[in-house]
Structure 1
């Protein structure tokens, strides 16, 4: 899980800033006292164009670099990056990205520094006994290895074929002996770190998910269906259940839904699905019972909620971190609170998945059913200064009021900053200057 993320010189962020997911208060849930602890949910709030999306985008860019840099190498072509461009001096400086992770109960620190020409620095450390141990360090094309890096001869060969514009972590994952799942008894810092980036997901284009949904994809587990149905019921969109059928007579559906136990089962399953593609239908409550409707009969809002539910189910199954920019664009605040509760629930989230989102919906700073939607240490703000540079800071920088704290009202009143500085005069001047519209009466 993610403990913290530091970044500098990325889009509207000129200086280094840190998104810290380490709990501030002692009542945070800790399942393993010996392992580093992290928040399951963090929300970033701010005005339009303040830099909220750039904050999440920096982490997404780091992930893309880790996963894709070894495949995106073009001879003689430098790196494509997005530095702070409002200051010519800053735009020529390198960009820096660093994460602190808890992997199999052990802290890892991975980071790199890049400029337009390529990777300037890269490093990975881990702390198996609470003390820092080097896995590798890179300065340009010069590498240094730690005692627990693995077979040094193999790493040196991979380092030798690592392009100047590619990360070593990407290259070793491609050419090294990677494994699909972590093994706590035999930790491999390089592959375990890469796997965290690989699993971390953003809210994707709903089109691809809806295409898969229309073919029954995404509902291969009972837990996934239960989660999606729960979100739909909470949304009060009229859906009370969903059914996946596998043919006119629904014959063999139990076999198709059962776990594949070998290559023969997987081949038979693929053949059965090709012969009888699954169909998803939704049970809507009507005046005379339930009526079954297909995906094409659902509203756009319901389809968006479905895709978000599918992606959430996938993240909870894998224990990965989920990034959602402008969560309020898809969900009502009550549904967002429901989604947050899923990531906080040990039953729904046994693997410790994390939700990191941006929003400008002040309702999420308040309460629901007398319970806080977000804890104080789960709330961060972004604002932009007079030079166009964004800054990131937590609500915990502000002392709570003794008599009680109405965060929603205080935020809208500007007590925390990170709100738009509106000019009523300029709005009125813009309207006055527009002139009469065709067909509009004038005095």
Structure 2
């Protein structure tokens, strides 16, 4: 539905102010390393730093690529790479809440080699936060956290924030006396199967908050419930038109989108706003720690209630017909329309505020041209002013080609996975092949020049499903109708 120019200008300036306020806190993912997770045995690294050009910056000297696309055959480990990053984020966000006292760590090591079960699993992320590089990582086995560390690199020099081993916690020389006392208390209450970073962040330790906040607020994964994010955006007047425009420009025949709120959803939203306000007041007035703890729990409960209640909201699409406009529910839309609707809210959120959006199998249900245009949104400074990043896995080889005469993906934005003879995943970049800028990467990939494609024999594939003995020898008629 159209809005006045004055209202649109106000919305534009509101988004601009929001971007300016958040810019200082924007972080970028520089690399991710993992070992001994599902099909990943030996350490694999996904690097998001530019190889051929300057890349994009988070506002400082730290630079990264805006998109990283991982290609490979089925069951080669693309989804397992995403799962490893998601598992790391889940541990950071909630190990202190989810851990069972006296229990171990539920992990998924490489099981095709007996050593995988015995060896620890490793997860390491290199981040650029506020102009400073951070390296955070940990190793775990079935019993608990074996090691954990956080380093920062102000002015390019390594500084230890903390190192955790079986012998205890070592703090860097820059950590003050007061912080040392607090870390000593935190160490005493950190269980063996809980990350120190999670507990220290809950204790509001400034030294760890930038990294913790990146994992909790700037790393986002597309899931089947992401439609709720789009529905929330529809409820905001300044973004409704942008959601509609995105769907309209995808040539889906959609003229407008209407959100019908349920009474339960409206009540849950009011309750959430009230509890959040009470928490802010308690923190500002230096209330007792137990009271603040209880209010934080109340906020989490209200958030959960709000998320569940929002599922009762209903979305209707306004589409044109010969008889005029018709209102249709989301459920009757095509899989592609539903997928793009799920994407719309998270896309606008990450492009508006920065961060990393992770999408496994982005080409599922989406037309290749739509996928290519989504990639282009992240590569364009006009649509991605906050330096957001898109990490995706895909089978869509057309993304290695061109759109409008320009490469959809640059050479240092392409990665491949394949499995070795032992069933272990290997991750490697296109840049290892030193491709020319003008070579036909789509054709070369499909032709097997880069590897990471399934080797399928036409004869053996057909023979595997060929009917034995003909239709009259024990083959039910229904099977061949």
CA contact (8 A) 2:235 2:259 kept: no
- The range that moved more, 285-294 or 119-128, is 285-294
Q: Which residue in 2 is equivalent to 1:21?
A: 48
Which residue of 138, 148, 170 maps to 1:122?
Answer: 148
Q: Provide the residue aligned with 2:31 in structure 1.
A: 4
Q: Cα gap change, 1:294/1:388 in structure 2, threshold over 3 Å: closer, same or farther?
A: closer
Count, aligned residues: 404
3-state secondary structure, aligned to 1:57: helix
Identify if the C-alpha distance between structure 1 residues 339 and 189 changes in structure 2 by more than 3 Å, giving closer, same or farther: farther
Shift, 1:401, TM fit: 4.1
In the TM superposition, residue 245 of structure 1 has moved relative to its aligned partner by 7.2
Q: Measured at CA, do residues 263 and 94 of structure 1 come closer, stay the same or move farther in structure 2, by a change above 3 Å?
A: closer
The correspondence for 1:423, drawn from 453, 457, 469, is 457
Deviation at 1:244, TM superposition (A): 5.1
Question: Shift in Å at residue 11 of structure 1?
Answer: 1.1
CA distance in 1, matches of 2:201, 2:419: 38
Q: 148-157 or 39-48, which moves further after superposition?
A: 148-157
Structure 1 residues 163-202: aligned runs within 5 Å: 163-174=191-202, 176-177=203-204, 188-199=206-217, 200-202=219-221
Q: CA RMSD in A?
A: 2.9
Change (3 A) 1:245 1:165: closer
Aligned residues of 1:42 and 1:380 also touching (Cα < 8 A): yes
Change beyond 3 A, Cα 1:10–1:279: closer
**Contact 1:224–1:310, Cα closer than 8 Å, also in 2:** no
Structure 1 unaligned spans of 5+: 179-187, 248-255, 265-273
Provide the secondary structure at the position in 2 that maps to 1:338: helix
- Structure 1 residues 367 and 177: CA distance shift in structure 2, 3 A: same
Any stretches of 5+ residues in structure 2 without a counterpart? 1-27, 263-269, 279-308
1:282 aligns with 2:311: no
CA 1:84–1:31 in structure 2 vs 1: closer, same or farther (change >3 Å)? closer
Range moving further from structure 2, 290-299 or 234-243: 290-299
Counterpart contact for 1:141–1:164, Cα < 8 Å: no
User: Which SS does the other structure have where 1:61 is aligned?
Assistant: helix
Q: Secondary structure at the match of 2:194?
A: coil
d(CA) in 1 for partners of 2:459, 2:211: 52
Cα distance in 2 for residues equivalent to 1:441 and 1:137: 63
Question: How much does 1:362 deviate?
Answer: 0.7
Measured in 2, the distance between the counterparts of 1:428 and 1:28 equals 46
Counterparts of residues 340-379 of structure 1 (less than 5 Å): 340-379=375-414
Q: Please list, as runs of the form range in 1=range in 2, the aligned pairs for 1:42-81 lying within 5 A after superposition.
A: 42-81=68-107
Q: Contact 1:136 / 1:149 at 8 angstroms: preserved in 2? A: no
2:79 & 2:325 partners in 1: Cα distance?
Answer: 41
Separation of aligned partners in 2, 1:322 and 1:202: 6
**Aligned 8 A contact 1:50 1:384 in 2:** yes
Residue of structure 2 in register with 1:185 after alignment: none
**Any idea what the Cα deviations from partners look like across 1:155-187, whole Å, max 9, x if unmatched?**
11011110101100111122x126xxxxxxxxx
TM-fit CA distance, 1:230? 3.4
Matched, 1:240 2:266: no
Hey, what's the Cα distance between the residues in 1 that align with 2:162 and 2:70? 33
Work out the CA distance in 1 between the residues paired with 2:125 and 2:420: 26
Instruction: Name the structure with the higher helix share.
Output: 2
2:151 is the counterpart of 1:160: no
Give the TM-score of the pair, scaled to structure 1: 0.83
CA distance in 2, matches of 1:409, 1:146: 51
Q: How does 1:296-335 map to 2 (within 5 A)?
A: 296-335=331-370
